Amino acid sequence: MADHPVDEKLPALKMATTGLQHVAAMYAGVVAPPLIVGAAIGLTAGELTFLTGACLFTAGLATFLQTLGIWKIGARLPFVNGVTFAGVAPMTAIVASTEDKSDALPVIFGAVIVAGLLGFLAAPVFCKAIRFFPPVVTGTVITLIGISLLPVAFGWAQGPDPAAHDYGSATNLGLAAVTLLIVLLLRRFTTGFVKQIAVLLGLVIGTLIAIPFGATDFGPVADAAVIGFPTPFHFGAPQFQLAAIISMCVVMVVSMTESTADMLALGEIVERPADEKTIAAGLRADTLGSAISPLFNGFMCSAFAQNIGLVAMTKIRSRYVVAAGGGFLVLMGLCPMAASLIAVVPRPVLGGAGVVLFGSVAASGIQTLVRAALDKDNNVLIVAVSLAVGIIPITAPEFYHAFPETARIVLDSGISTGCVAAVLLNLVFNHLGRGSRDAHDVTHPMETGEELTRAPKAPAAS
Let me know if residue 199 belongs to a domain.
yes
**Which residues form the domain of 14?**
5-373
pLDDT for res 27: 73
Is residue 378 within 8 Å of residue 438, measured between CB atoms?
yes
Give the predicted TM-score (pTM) of the model.
0.67
Residue 316 makes CB contacts below 8 A (sequence gap 6+) with 10, 18, 78, 196
Let me know if residue 416 belongs to a domain.
no
pLDDT for res 272: 85
**Total domains present in the chain:** 1
What is the residue-level pLDDT of the chain in tens, covering all 462 positions?
Answer: 567 888 888 888 888 888 888 887 777 677 767 877 887 787 776 777 788 888 889 999 999 999 998 888 988 888 888 887 767 767 877 887 787 888 889 999 999 999 999 999 999 888 877 677 788 887 887 788 778 778 878 988 998 888 888 899 999 999 999 999 998 999 888 876 677 677 778 888 999 999 998 888 777 677 767 777 778 888 889 999 887 888 788 778 777 877 887 888 888 888 888 888 889 999 999 999 999 999 999 999 888 776 787 788 778 888 899 899 989 889 888 887 766 666 677 889 888 988 887 787 788 778 878 878 787 778 899 999 999 998 998 888 889 888 887 677 667 777 778 888 888 999 898 877 654 444 444 444 444 344 433 444 444 443
Let me know if residue 178 belongs to a domain.
yes
Let me know if residue 399 belongs to a domain.
no
pLDDT for res 242: 84
153: alpha, beta or left? (left if phi > 0; alpha if psi -120 to 50): alpha
User: How many angstroms separate the first and last alpha carbons of the chain?
Assistant: 37
Nearest to 106 by CA among 32, 41, 31: 41
pLDDT for res 343: 65
DSSP 8-state secondary structure symbol assigned to residue 460: P
Let me know if residue 415 belongs to a domain.
no
Let me know if residue 459 belongs to a domain.
no
Nearest to 307 by CA among 130, 149, 179, 87: 149
Let me know if residue 316 belongs to a domain.
yes
Let me know if residue 411 belongs to a domain.
no
pLDDT for res 433: 67
CB atoms within 10 A of CB 249: 18
Strand, coil or helix: what is 81? strand
Alpha-carbon gap, residue 29 to 232, rounded angstroms? 23
The CA-atom distances, in angstroms, between 30 and each of 201, 215, 306, 339, 449 are 21, 21, 12, 11, 50
CB atoms within 10 A of CB 1: 3
Nearest to 270 by CA among 323, 307, 317: 317
Alpha-carbon gap, residue 81 to 83, rounded angstroms? 7
